[in-house]
Amino acid sequence: MDEPLASETSIRTGCPYCGVGCGLSVSVAGGRVLKVRGDREHRSSRGEVCMKAAALPPTVAREGRADRARIRTRASGRFAETSVATAVARAAAELRRIVNAHGPDAIAFYGSGHLSTEDYYTLAKLVKGFLGTDNLDTNSRLCMASAVAGYKRAFGADAPPGSYADIDEAEVFLIVGANLADCHPVLFRRVAKRLDAAPETVRVIVVDPRRTETCDIAHSHLSLRPGTDVALLNAMLHIAIREGHVDKPFLERRTEGFAAVRDAVESWTPEVAEELCGVPSAAIVDAARTFARSRKAVVLWAMGANQSSHGTAKNAAILNLCLATGNVGRPGCGPLSLTGQPNAMGGREVGALAGLLPGHRSLSDANDRNTVAKHWKVPVERLPERPGRTATEIFAGLEDGSVRAIWILATNPAASLPDLERARRGLRRAELVVVQDAFFPTDTTDLAHVVLPAAAWAEKDCVMTNSERVVTLHRKAVEPPGHALPDWRLLALLAHELGFGASFAWPSAAEIFDEFRTLTAGTTCDLSGVTHARLASGPLQWPCPSGEHPGSERRYEVRFATASGRARLEAVQPHPPAEPTSHEFPLVLTTGRLGPHWHTRTRTRWSRNLENRAPEPILEMHASDARRVGVVDGGFAEIRSRRGEVVAQVRVTSEISPGTVFLPFHWTRLDGPEKSANNLTHAALDPISKQPELKHCAVRVRALRSPEDGA
């Protein structure tokens, strides 16, 4: 182990939180992280950081960290500390028993956009190449899957066309279902700076049922009814076509499918859209003209569009608007989906989701299976041919007994999945639950049989890719506590126990990355020219096909990645939400993030500063709805859906549409059984992306005299 640093040293690394992927400069002394600042040299963030990154030091201290392996003893049901080797051996023996008795599809692995590319690659190789199942998915399915499906269907590849640099040139920003101010703060500031630089020409339009802080810089806020985005976007395209703002030369040369889309949006007049969306037709016309007249229009979107039972259709509607107006493939324009997690993109690069193989390859393609099997030096028959279970399908399998074991890495599904009671029931029924995590306890470790201690941010060298395809080297600054190890090392130990150790015997993360990057040569995510050594001098943006290549700021300038080279527009129509409101459950619940917190607070709860800024979940409710149920501002309420209940304090506001309530999802059952928003949400999926509809379920609200008066 390295000696603790005697005097203060500065180390360049990346942020472990959101997909903006800011570069950080970390001050370290005496083996401790002292301070975190922005890295001025990092191309994605240019020295900016938000409050979460600045509050990182207390999260790498010992409190709340998983520093020992633990096994639950049969006699007491309590955890006993043990060595990592013993815990891995016990877990491996159970996995082997279950696979021998029930086949490889009786086990599943569930990862996270927090894993590094090297962790992810090790996981994909072990599960798909050696264990013979594709039951590997991650919490990125809850976050980005609909955007991925949208990109693939329209452009032929899972990759945004442009870069953050486009923000500095854009003249129109259409922000759909994204609260940048809270969730992607550094990009929010970049948009605000662009507006400050050209206040006469730049226009910002926000589409969101809530009036969030993002609306502070907006010229127009289209406060639509939740779930009606497709109707609104179709109406905007209707206006663009009717008023002659489509880019005909671009459509003719570079795209296909426009005629069907034109027919599909013909009936979506702004007046018809107003009926469904609740947005005045004049505001729709104004937004459509502003967007469609510009050849420098950027669309930014996130979970508000993606977390839907028709999220893929919403993404198609966004991309149709960009393509029809020629706003793709040039500086200052284009669609740019915002990733929630720091390395969701990396997980897809290495194929660590159901249905994928490394290099954006498909498990269903025989050539792709052959190429990967050869690289991994395994018989191709060992690779599964059928796509495995996606996130919520894995937990449904645990519930019905078709999946018997689950290995969970760097995530907290017992708090973050929709319809929590059902997900937790699945975990309770499992014969084996192994959790690799940097934090202990969590809601999920509470249901585990084996807990393995993982190294966290600043405790390992690794690579992550942000929302704009920029790859950053995250450097080790301090030693992990106790027995904690990087996730890939824990997986390599498992591989060794299972008899595959020789294929996982890398000495460091750099060698794992080398094995992975060569497998991407010639693919739609070509990282073959990226190495840890090159990244030590600064981040690189893929595609980067050789050691001399400077990286690619823009894609699809000449041709798209489809077979024809043309982008595909796709006719889409709005669908009703999976769970409409009713007499019994008359309000729509939408859930989301707050600026100070991250996911289920496994990390941010250890920063007093962040906790003080948002100590409790608060329900946002429109004044007219609050009056109807007798709830007062600052009072308490019970929020109930068909699946469970939550008790929360209420903020009565006019900043949310009547009929809609908002609850943040950061609080979990560790904070109290009635604090988790996912007690209420449901698990209906988009049929293509398999992303759950976390943004829309039907609830009722009842006033309480006190929190104790509740469920």
Note the residues at the interface with ligand SF4 (CB under 6 A).
15, 17-18, 20-22, 45, 49-50, 52-53, 184-186
- Least distance in angstroms from the C-beta of 290 to ligand SF4: 27
Burial degree of 564 (CB within 10 A; 0-12, 13-18, 19+)? exposed
The secondary structure of 652-673 as a DSSP string is EESSB-TTEEEEES---TTT-T
- Least distance in angstroms from the C-beta of 396 to ligand SF4: 32
**Cβ-based nearer residue to ligand SF4, 342 or 545:** 342
Can you give the C-alpha Rg of the chain in angstroms?
Answer: 24
Q: Name the residue among 138, 141, 276 with its Cα closest to residue 686.
A: 141
**Cβ-based nearer residue to ligand SF4, 464 or 694:** 464
* Residue 384: strand, helix, or coil: coil
User: Residues 528, 518: contact at Cβ < 8 Å?
Assistant: yes
**Cβ-based nearer residue to ligand SF4, 17 or 121:** 17
SS (H, E, C) 502-519: HHHCCCCHHHHHHHHHHC
Give the DSSP letter of residue 685. B
- Least distance in angstroms from the C-beta of 90 to ligand SF4: 36
- Least distance in angstroms from the C-beta of 189 to ligand SF4: 9
**Cβ-based nearer residue to ligand SF4, 50 or 131:** 50
Token digits of residue 6: 């005697």
Query: Which residues in 666-698 are b (16+ Cβ under 10 Å) and which e?
Result: bbbbbbeebbbbbbbbbbbbbebbbbbbbbbbb
Angle formed at CA 138 by CA 308 and CA 642, multiple of 5 degrees: 45
Q: Tell me the C-alpha distance between 181 and 297, whole Å.
A: 20
Token digits of residue 674: 């009635």
SS3 content of the chain, % helix, strand, coil (to 5): 35, 20, 45
User: Residues 468, 160: contact at Cβ < 8 Å?
Assistant: yes
**Cβ-based nearer residue to ligand SF4, 144 or 561:** 144
**Cβ-based nearer residue to ligand SF4, 20 or 303:** 20
Q: Tell me the C-alpha distance between 6 and 549, whole Å.
A: 38
Query: Which residues in 285-295 are b (16+ Cβ under 10 Å) and which e?
Result: bbbbebbbebb
**Cβ-based nearer residue to ligand SF4, 346 or 418:** 346
Q: Detail the DSSP E strand segments found in 124-216.
A: 136-138, 172-176, 203-207
**Cβ-based nearer residue to ligand SF4, 20 or 670:** 20
Query: Which residues in 204-226 are b (16+ Cβ under 10 Å) and which e?
Result: bbbbbbbbbebbebbbbbbbbbb
**Cβ-based nearer residue to ligand SF4, 13 or 327:** 13
| Residue reference for tokens 């007491």 | 76
Give the list of residues 6+ apart from residue 274 with CB closer than 8 angstroms, or none: 280, 281, 284
Q: Tell me the C-alpha distance between 653 and 622, whole Å.
A: 5
Q: Tell me the C-alpha distance between 549 and 382, whole Å.
A: 35
- Least distance in angstroms from the C-beta of 48 to ligand SF4: 7
- Least distance in angstroms from the C-beta of 639 to ligand SF4: 28
**Cβ-based nearer residue to ligand SF4, 274 or 468:** 468
- Least distance in angstroms from the C-beta of 417 to ligand SF4: 23
**Cβ-based nearer residue to ligand SF4, 183 or 313:** 183
**Cβ-based nearer residue to ligand SF4, 265 or 438:** 438
**Cβ-based nearer residue to ligand SF4, 45 or 59:** 45
**Cβ-based nearer residue to ligand SF4, 463 or 492:** 463
- Least distance in angstroms from the C-beta of 343 to ligand SF4: 11
**Cβ-based nearer residue to ligand SF4, 50 or 394:** 50
Q: Tell me the C-alpha distance between 105 and 107, whole Å.
A: 5
**Cβ-based nearer residue to ligand SF4, 472 or 523:** 472
Q: Tell me the C-alpha distance between 532 and 547, whole Å.
A: 11
Give the DSSP letter of residue 130. I
- Least distance in angstroms from the C-beta of 184 to ligand SF4: 6
Angle formed at CA 507 by CA 432 and CA 11, multiple of 5 degrees: 100
SS (H, E, C) 48-88: CCCHHHHCCHHHHCCCCECCCEEEECCCCCCEEEECHHHHH
Judged by phi (left if over 0) then psi (alpha if -120 to 50, else beta), residue 594 lies in beta
- Least distance in angstroms from the C-beta of 617 to ligand SF4: 20
Q: Tell me the C-alpha distance between 560 and 637, whole Å.
A: 51
- Least distance in angstroms from the C-beta of 568 to ligand SF4: 32
Distinct helix (H) and strand (E) counts, the chain: 23, 28
- State the CB neighbour count (10 A cutoff) for residue 709: 13
